[in-house]
Amino acid sequence: MELHYEIVPDYKMEVCRNLCNELMTYQKAKATISPELFDTMNFETRLFPSVHKAMHNYIVVVKDKNKLVGYVYANISPKKVYRNDFATFFDMNSVQRKAVGCLSQFYIKDEYRQYGIGSKLFNMSMNWLTSFDEVDDYFIFVSNGNDGALSFYKRKGFAISHEILDGFITVLHSKKVSENEHLTNF
Ligand SMILES: CC(C)(COP(=O)(O)OP(=O)(O)OC[C@H]1O[C@@H](n2cnc3c(N)ncnc32)[C@H](O)[C@@H]1OP(=O)(O)O)[C@@H](O)C(=O)NCCC(=O)NCCS
């Protein structure tokens, strides 16, 4: 493998189109609660609007030579975007600051999993997310049936907060810790 990690500017998010769509297909296949909700989820309805609503975006793609093999998408967004027609993702009063960080999308192609690529992208994302002084709360939303991802994030220090949409999504939460702890954790 000849792996390269590239930070993608927002205007080039199109490069993630196929990987984003693969992630939605993967999540639908894993889900037992309301899998049909994924039928309308794709690059156009998920990545594109998220990037536009966010205050700051961080997209990293991984390439093996020139082949795209994975990506992560994290953002800093006003907390109010997490209360919308689809769901209220968390209690607005439980977050003091106006903005939150989210590790929003994460996908490594099957044959490239278990080589540490996910851990590297996770660390890059958390280093980026924790660099914003005005943010203390970080969220990850995991769809039902994706127990592998849930365990991965728990091992990385996130805790289950609650479920929404009758168990369709499990909300994981992490709070900012002191500077020294950051360095240890991520
Ligand atoms: C979740 C995901 C991003 C993790 O990526 P990954 O590249 O497999 O992650 P890593 O290889 O860094 O770590 C996976 C585990 O394999 C282990 N691992 C790493 N290198 C390994 C190796 N060479 N041999 C065996 N195991 C290894 C790691 O220790 C890790 O276990 P840990 O969590 O106990 O530390 C990936 O599985 C994925 O894309 N899944 C499908 C999409 C998905 O579920 N996305 C999340 C949506 S919320």
Find, among 72, 59, 49, 77, the residue nearest to 13 by Cα.
59
State if residue 149 touches ligand 1 by the CB under 6 angstroms criterion.
yes
State if residue 114 touches ligand 1 by the CB under 6 angstroms criterion.
yes
State if residue 100 touches ligand 1 by the CB under 6 angstroms criterion.
no
User: What pLDDT, on the 0 to 100 scale, is given for residue 177?
Assistant: 83
50-109: per-residue pLDDT in tens?
Answer: 999 999 999 999 999 999 999 999 999 999 999 999 999 999 999 999 999 999 999 999
User: What pLDDT, on the 0 to 100 scale, is given for residue 179?
Assistant: 63
Is the model's pLDDT at 10 over the cut of 90?
yes
Q: Out of 107-121, 156-170, 172-186, pick the least confident.
A: 172-186
Is the model's pLDDT at 43 over the cut of 60?
yes
Alpha-carbon span 98 to 172, nearest angstrom: 19
Query: Which residues have C-beta within 8 Å of that of residue 126, sequence separation ≥ 6?
Result: 103, 138, 156, 185, 186
Mutate to test the pocket of ligand 1, among 20, 108, 125, 160 (most ligand atoms within 8 A of CB): 108
User: What pLDDT, on the 0 to 100 scale, is given for residue 133?
Assistant: 95
State if residue 71 touches ligand 1 by the CB under 6 angstroms criterion.
no
User: What pLDDT, on the 0 to 100 scale, is given for residue 182?
Assistant: 52
Multiple choice CATH, 3-185, 3.30.540.10, 3.40.50.720, 3.40.630.30, 1.10.287.1770: 3.40.630.30
Alpha-carbon span 16 to 47, nearest angstrom: 9
Backbone angles phi, psi at 82, to 5 degrees: -90, 10
Is the model's pLDDT at 11 over the cut of 70?
yes
User: What pLDDT, on the 0 to 100 scale, is given for residue 93?
Assistant: 94
Instruction: Tell me the pLDDT band of 126, cut-offs 50, 70 and 90.
Output: very high
| Domain locations along the chain | 3-185
| Tokens 């082949």, located at residue | 67
129-173: per-residue pLDDT in tens?
Answer: 999 999 999 999 999 999 999 999 999 999 999 999 999 999 999
User: What pLDDT, on the 0 to 100 scale, is given for residue 181?
Assistant: 57
